[in-house]
Amino acid sequence: MLELLMRALIGGIGVAAVAGPLGAFVVWRRMAYFGDTLAHSALLGVALGFLLDINLNFAIVVLCVGLALVLVALQKKHIIATDTLLGILAHSALSLGLVAVSFLDNVRIDLMAYLFGDLLAISQTDLYWIYGGGLLVMSLLVTFWRPLLALTVNEELAKVEGYPVEAIRLLLMLLVAVVIAVAMKIVGVLLITSLMIIPAATSRKLSQTPVQMASMAGVLGCLSVCGGLWASYHWDTPTGPSVVVCAALLFLIAYTLPIRKTA
């Protein structure tokens, strides 16, 4: 039991530590809906993974990254408004995933675990995926921090100053895709974006610089994972939702308590 808990804790912290800082970008660039779309489509990745008999984590990463690329391409064409496009993709991908899963008679899929996450079901292999993916995302985030931030603050200024704007935008979308694919195991398809957005939003109240906000978001995410696991252990509540509830509580505390900002 203890080993199970430890593994869940290590995995959860690994995910939250990356989801937080990247979540700051999701909040700044208003990409929440984009994240949701990728998350919803991850279930399709699970179904495809089973159908094609390939590693599930791999299938999810490929599908999320692929969809991110499709989205970038479609956005450029300006066929319809981006949020409409995202809405169409999000829900058709989720439905397609659910339909595909129903065809899998020979394998029993715990749908609830994929929709809402099952932190306690983390395997050793999952940990490798989490820390491998996490380290990759983290190192890219640190290496390209300035261009990513310049793009977020003002794309046109960044472009005139010679930043490769298109490439950086693509990089950010791919990073989000990887984090979502990896985080799916922990909090599930429906709750992933919350793990990115809520700690970042909480962190906004407590920070003066982008670096502060991003790192604090990681810390708050880790705290939420600890709190959620603890609650889950004590009251036998579902782990994924417990983590999210915990993050939401931290948000409420930060925004209701009179915390003085040092200007």
Task: Tell me how far apart the alpha carbons of residues 153 and 29 are, in angstroms, rounded to a whole number.
Answer: 9
Site string for another protein, 35-74 (x = CB under 8 A): ----------------------------------------
The structure tokens listed for 40 are 């919803």
- The correct pick among 88, 157, 167, 252 for binding another protein (CB under 8 A) is 157
Of 21-29, 91-99, 221-229, 234-242: span binding another protein (CB under 8 A): 21-29
Shorter beta-carbon distance to another protein: residue 131 or 251:
251
- The correct pick among 60, 187, 189, 213 for binding another protein (CB under 8 A) is 213
159 binds another protein (CB under 8 A): yes
CB 43 within 8 A of CB 115: yes
Closest CA to 26 of 263, 166, 260, 204: 204
CB 163 within 8 A of CB 68: no
Shorter beta-carbon distance to another protein: residue 256 or 262:
262
Minimum Å gap between C-beta 176 and another protein is: 16
Minimum Å gap between C-beta 160 and another protein is: 4
Task: Tell me how far apart the alpha carbons of residues 43 and 28 are, in angstroms, rounded to a whole number.
Answer: 26
Task: Tell me how far apart the alpha carbons of residues 93 and 44 are, in angstroms, rounded to a whole number.
Answer: 6
H-assigned helices in 53-123: 56-77, 82-102, 111-116
Size of interface with another protein, in residues (CB under 8 A):
28
Binding positions for another protein, rule: CB under 8 A: 27-30, 146-147, 149-150, 152-154, 156-163, 201, 204, 207-210, 212-213, 263
